[in-house]
């Protein structure tokens, strides 16, 4: 993926994670939603790593 696509993916993941954290703080989230949030956090870290790799190339 090119750097612009990775940046966009990162923005979307951050927004979705933020929304889930807000929901968890207000009313709580189910175990399934919690697993989804953990998966999105892992994707965000992977995307961040890929962005750092593409900057060095």
What are the pLDDT digits (tens) for 1-55?
799 999 999 999 999 999 999 999 999 999 999 999 999 999 999 999 999 998 7
The pTM assigned to this predicted structure is 0.88
What is residue 54's predicted lDDT score, i.e. its pLDDT? Answer: 83
Reported confidence tier of residue 57, pLDDT bands at 50, 70, 90: low
Q: Which two tokens stand for residue 5?
A: 């696509």
> Tokens 């923005």 sit at which residue?
11
């Amino acid at each position: 993926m090119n750097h612009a696509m990775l940046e966009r993916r990162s923005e979307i993941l951050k927004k979705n994670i933020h929304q889930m954290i807000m929901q968890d703080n207000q009313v709580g989230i189910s175990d399934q939603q919690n697993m989804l949030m953990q998966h999105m956090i892992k994707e965000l870290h992977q995307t961040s790593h890929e962005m750092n790799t593409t900057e060095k190339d």
